[in-house]
Structure 1
Amino acid sequence: MRKDTKEQTMTSTAPQQGNGFMHDQRKRRIFGDVVTHVFLAVMAVIWLLPIVWVLLESFNENTAPYQTTFFPRKYTFANYVQLFTDRNVMNFPRMFANTMIIAIFVCLIQLFFVLSVAFCMSRLRFRGRKAFMNIALVLGMFPGIMAVIAIYFILKAFGLTSGGWVILALIIVYSAGSGAGFYVMKGYMDTIPMSLDEAAYLDGCTTWQVFTKITIPICRPMIVYQAIVGFLTPWLDFVMAKAIARTQDNFTVALGLWQMLQKEYINDWYARFAAGAVCVSIPIAILFIVMQRFYQESMSGSVKG
């Protein structure tokens, strides 16, 4: 009888233990989900708060930097109007146009250089190839800011640091060393089967035709990435532009926004600085949206292929 009661007790407690374990596991999962969502919500607020503040500050009627409230009390669109119409102190439209011209040319030149060098390093075999790759890798470890002084004096020797030549100088500076950053593009090209190139050569294609009609269409996702990087480099750079551009006629938007925060301008231009920051972010947002669509289309096409 005792043996039977023990067996009954064991059989009755086994489901209870199993249910308790499942219940505890469900509690831990719910607790983990709650902690994760709370953490993500806090991080989202921390990330979005500065953006929201700059956006609201750009409509602030009070242009002074020192205020009693965190968010503006009165809003106006005059900051945007004055930013583009008041050109006596700062010619922001000129700075915006300068940056746009530099960014477009640098984007195209960098894209061509990187694609060309990556294609040569990935698909062609020639003497000194590995040595060049090693040298480019070592040089890429040094920050570009180390060469600012040398670059400035070289450009000054050629007379490119004054007048309208400054725009050309900035385009040259941002584009000159772009070919050395070919490693990411080369890594993507290495995944393309060499049999495609060999089949094209058998059909009578030249190296240029293989490059333009086979390699480039397959590399569209990386082309999108490189185009974004090439555009953002001059658009966001401050150090190189500050070293070369000395007058407001040649300023980029980064220098213009920095100038607005100087002590002689900050009381009247603080709210316009926020408006300028919003205007500067608009082309970047448009570029990301457009390029993301092309990236998704190219990736879906490659999967179908």
Structure 2
Amino acid sequence: MSKHTQSKPESQSLMHDQRKRRIVADVATYVLLGVLAVVWLFPIVWIFLESFNKNPAPYQNTFFPTQFSFDNYTGLFTQRNVLDFPRMFMNTFIIAIFVCLISVFFVLSVAYVMSRMRFRGRRAFMNFVLIIGMFPGIMSVVAIYFILKAMGLTSDGMTTLALILVYSAGTGAGFYVMKGYMDTIPTSLDEAAMLDGCTRWQVFTKIIIPISRPMIVYQAIVGFLTPWLDFVMAKVIARTQDNYTASLGLWLMLDKEYINNWFGRFAAASVIISIPIAILFIVMQRFYQESMAGSVKG
């Protein structure tokens, strides 16, 4: 009886110690997450406040602005004779839309072929693409420029088309993630559809594409962000301000010729550029959740 009464307080003390350790671990985790959230959000808050700064100069006495106005936003869209940011923004938007659509189609097509079809040289091709993908894309910038120049695509009127071709031409090589997803789709669905009279194209469009919607969302985001955030390729191909993309416009605003008057507008342009990205993520996340819910139900 005495042993039983002694073991009960010991077990209660052990449970109490475990609870204290769990609470300490939870508090430490939340503190760390809070610090990381502050570190992550601080630059965003600063650039957002700086976009409303009445003083457009980069060097100020206070870290945060003390006077606020909409002059940076209005000047960004009205003083187009100095830096035509609306045109740069529209150039980037057009390129990003076309690249998004083309890259989704290319990746879906190549992934479907690699996942569902068997032919001679298939594995050699996949290994070749995997090895080529290990090299940074910047290595081919000079070669791409001279190829485009030989094709007459580096002139002012052809820069947008050249950038669309450059960004979308090699997207099919990024099929590995999509192929891995398609490999999880049972081939019995393809066989059943073909027994019912469906062609390869009908299997691809009516079965594979609807099931692969989560990965389509992922590829659409990647395809949109690639030209939206790129600087190197756009800097090499675009030669005049009329053909500049938004990233080149931001870079130009920080040049010593413009920075004293355009630093506040640089912050405003940064905020404006982030809006389409945020909208894309919000819209695509909804489609991603709906497709995942449908796949779980199925």
For Structure 1 versus Structure 2, the TM-score category normalised by the shorter chain is over 0.9
Cα distance, 1:201 vs structure 2? 0.9
Q: CA deviation at 1:218?
A: 0.7
Equivalent position to 2:223, from 226, 230, 247? 230
Q: Deviations over 1:78-116 (max 9, x none)?
A: 111110111011000000000000000000111111011
SS at match of 1:199: helix
1:121 to 82, 104, 114: 114
**Structure 2, gaps ≥5 residues long:** none
TM-score, normalised to structure 2, is 0.98
Shift of 1:24: 1.4
**In the alignment, is the contact (CA less than 8 A) between 2:156 and 2:239 conserved in 1?**
no
Q: TM-score, normalised by structure 1?
A: 0.96
Partner of 1:72, secondary structure, is coil
Pair member with larger Rg: 1
Deviation string, structure 1 residues 53-88 (Cα, Å, up to 9, x no partner): 010000000000011111100000111111011101
Write the deviation string for residues 203-225 of structure 1: whole angstroms up to 9, x where unpaired. 11111111111111110000000
Q: Which residue of 2 aligns with 1:46?
A: 39
| Residue 171 (structure 2) aligned to one of 172, 178, 194 | 178
Asked if 1:286 corresponds to 2:279, the answer is yes
Considering only aligned residues, what root-mean-square deviation do their CA atoms show, in Å?
1.0
Say whether 1:159 aligns with 2:183.
no
Counterparts of 1:191 and 1:16, CA distance in 2: 53
Q: How far apart are residue 14 of structure 1 and its match?
A: 2.5
**Which residue among 8, 21, 26 is the counterpart of 1:15?**
8
2:97 alignment partner AA = I
SS at match of 1:262: coil
Query: 1:237-288 deviations in whole A, cap 9, x for unaligned?
Result: 0010011111100000000000000111000000000000000000000000
1:123 & 1:12 partners in 2: Cα distance?
68
In structure 1, runs of 5+ residues without a counterpart are 1-6
Q: How does 1:129-208 map to 2 (within 5 A)?
A: 129-208=122-201
The amino acid across from 1:65 in the alignment is: P
Residues in 1 aligned to 2:6 and 2:197: alpha-carbon distance in whole angstroms: 79
How far residue 126 of structure 1 moved from its aligned partner, in angstroms, is: 1.4
Q: What amino acid is the match of 1:296?
A: Q
- The residue aligned with 2:232 is 239
Query: Number of paired residues?
Result: 298
Distance 2:215 2:158 in 1: 32
Structure 1 runs of 4+ aligned residues shifted over 6 Å read none
Measured after TM superposition, the shift of residue 15 of structure 1 is: 2.4
Answer yes or no: is the 8 Å Cα contact 2:98–2:164 preserved in 1.
yes
2:96 corresponds in structure 1 to 103
Structure 1 residues 129 and 70: alpha-carbon distance in aligned structure 2, compared to 1, 3 A threshold: same
Q: Which residue matches 1:217?
A: 210
